[in-house]
């Protein structure tokens, strides 16, 4: 399983180079004076956003990511070369915390965005810097400063426009495979989806596409750690619209119970999630149980939610649903997901 949404790494900024103590010893220069140059600054460790990544899997093994140290100053007032930065690519949606205190250092929300997580040390001053009328031949130079040395925790919250939630086997993976090029695992048993799957949806090439996320099935108690859902509820936080799938063909349990289970877990994790734009969708309408469909339709009216019935197996209702999602996204604030996360 190549998906990884948490990683702890050690980062170390480069130390600054030492300042130099030197004096000019040149022909035809009777009073040479101090000529020690400054040390170069150390490089920094920088996280860079990369849209081509959707996992922290490449950071799964403990490692120290260190930037280059600065070179020492030299005579003839030559400043040491600065150390090179160490750039580490991470997925869009990565939050960065100090591992010991939990302090949020920042988050990566766009392609190419840069975040310094370990600053390099400043280079030391050479003895030329200390020359004065009172001290024309200073023999003092500063050592370079140490770079920041930190252990940081990275937490990925996938950036998706639409998050698909529901009980296991509600038809989430089949749905996303029909409306996008994503190819999640599909099988007739619970928890076939072990990691979030992202797909890009666009009915018309002229339309603005949007990203849809298939999240692993939630069960009762997911917010407290039951099943797999507790690991992935954080990814729902960044979704601007929630698509709630309910199986209309199941003869186990009631529609009301299925619906309230997911709503309860979303509310337990973050009460604000139920205030997001939400669409209620009855799935597997090709083998529908009429009583379940009517109950779900009434539940949608009671909650004032848009309601659709689809069959991903035969393609029924998918176009209308996707167009409705695009309209909801056009009306939803762009910054909503990041403000509430």
Mean pLDDT of 258-268: 87
For residue 235, the enclosing domain spans 162-340
Q: Are residues 173 and 145 in the same domain?
A: no
**Over 50: is that where the pLDDT of 186 sits?**
no
Report helix, strand or coil for 294: helix
Which of 140, 156, 172 is a domain's end point? 156
For the chain, what is the mean pLDDT?
A: 84
Structural domains of the chain, count: 2
pLDDT at 223: 41
Which of 126, 156, 186 is a domain's end point? 156
**Both structure tokens of 8:** 């702890």
pLDDT digits (tens, 9 = 90+) for 81-91: 999 999 999 99
Cβ partners under 8 Å of residue 294, min gap 6: none
* Residue 102: CB atoms within 10 Å: 8
Q: Is 62 left (phi over 0), alpha (psi -120 to 50) or beta?
A: beta
Mean pLDDT of 247-273: 85
* Residue 275: CB atoms within 10 Å: 11
Which of 156, 182, 207 is a domain's end point? 156
Give the DSSP H/E element, type plus range, for residue 269.
Answer: helix 255-269
Q: Are residues 3 and 65 in the same domain?
A: yes
CATH code of the domain containing 271: 3.40.50.300
CA nearest 59: which of 111, 14, 117, 11?
A: 11
Q: Are residues 67 and 99 in the same domain?
A: yes
Report helix, strand or coil for 105: strand
Count, residues in the chain: 341
Q: Are residues 133 and 275 in the same domain?
A: no
Q: Are residues 85 and 176 in the same domain?
A: no
Burial class (CB in 10 A: 0-12, 13-18, 19+), 249: middle
CATH code of the domain containing 35: 2.70.210.12
**What's the pTM value of the predicted model, to 2 decimals?**
0.71
Q: Are residues 92 and 51 in the same domain?
A: yes
Q: Are residues 150 and 210 in the same domain?
A: no
Q: Are residues 177 and 240 in the same domain?
A: yes
Are the C-beta atoms of residues 166 and 176 closer than 8 Å to each other?
no
Q: Are residues 97 and 112 in the same domain?
A: yes
Q: Are residues 118 and 220 in the same domain?
A: no
**Both structure tokens of 290:** 């009429």
Q: Are residues 202 and 230 in the same domain?
A: yes
Comparing 223 with 136, which gets the higher pLDDT? 136
- What is the residue whose two structure tokens read 């998050």? 163
Q: Which of the residue ranges 4-13, 120-129, 236-245 has the most confident prediction, judged by mean pLDDT?
A: 120-129
Instruction: For residue 271, give the DSSP letter.
Output: G
Q: Are residues 103 and 245 in the same domain?
A: no
pLDDT at 25: 78
Give the DSSP H/E element, type plus range, for residue 242.
Answer: strand 241-247
- In this prediction, residue 187 has a pLDDT band, given cuts at 50, 70 and 90, of very low
- What is the residue whose two structure tokens read 């108690």? 221
- In this prediction, residue 192 has a pLDDT band, given cuts at 50, 70 and 90, of very low
Q: Using a pLDDT cut of 70, give the percent of the chain over it.
A: 84
**Both structure tokens of 6:** 């948490």
Pairing of strands 162-165, 241-247: parallel
């Amino acid at each position: 399983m190549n998906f990884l949404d948490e990683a702890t790494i050690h980062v170390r900024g480069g130390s600054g180079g030492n300042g130099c103590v030197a004096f000019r010893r040149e022909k035809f220069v009777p009073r040479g004076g101090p000529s020690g140059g400054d040390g170069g600054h150390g490089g920094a460790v920088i996280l860079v956003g990369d849209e081509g990544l959707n996992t922290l899997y490449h950071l799964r093994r403990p490692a120290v990511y260190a930037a280059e140290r600065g070179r020492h100053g030299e005579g003839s007032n030559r400043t040491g070369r600065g150390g090179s930065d160490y750039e580490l690519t991470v997925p869009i949606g990565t939050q960065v915390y100090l591992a010991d205190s939990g302090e949020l250092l920042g988050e990566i929300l766009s392609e190419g965005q840069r975040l310094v997580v370990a600053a390099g040390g400043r280079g030391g001053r050479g003895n030329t810097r200390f020359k004065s009328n009172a001290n024309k031949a200073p023999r003092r130079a500063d050592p370079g400063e140490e770079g920041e040395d930190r252990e940081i925790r990275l937490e990925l919250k996938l950036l998706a426009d639409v998050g698909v939630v529901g009980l296991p086997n509600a038809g989430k993976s089949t749905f996303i495979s029909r409306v996008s090029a994503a190819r999640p695992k599909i099988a007739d048993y619970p928890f076939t989806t072990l990691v979030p799957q992202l797909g890009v949806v666009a009915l018309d090439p002229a339309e603005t596409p949007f990203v849809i996320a298939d999240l692993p099935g939630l069960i009762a108690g997911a917010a407290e750690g039951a099943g797999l859902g507790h690991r992935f509820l954080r990814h729902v936080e960044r979704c601007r619209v929630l698509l709630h799938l309910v199986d209309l063909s199941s003869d186990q349990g009631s529609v009301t119970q299925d619906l309230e289970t997911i709503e309860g877990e979303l509310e337990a994790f973050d009460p604000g999630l139920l205030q997001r734009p939400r669409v209620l969708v009855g799935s597997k309408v090709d083998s529908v149980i009429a009583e379940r469909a009517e109950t779900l339709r009434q539940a949608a009216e009671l909650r004032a939610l848009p309601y659709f019935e689809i069959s991903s197996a035969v393609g029924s209702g998918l176009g209308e649903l996707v167009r409705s999602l695009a309209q909801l996204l056009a009306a939803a604030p762009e910054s909503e997901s990041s403000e509430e996360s």
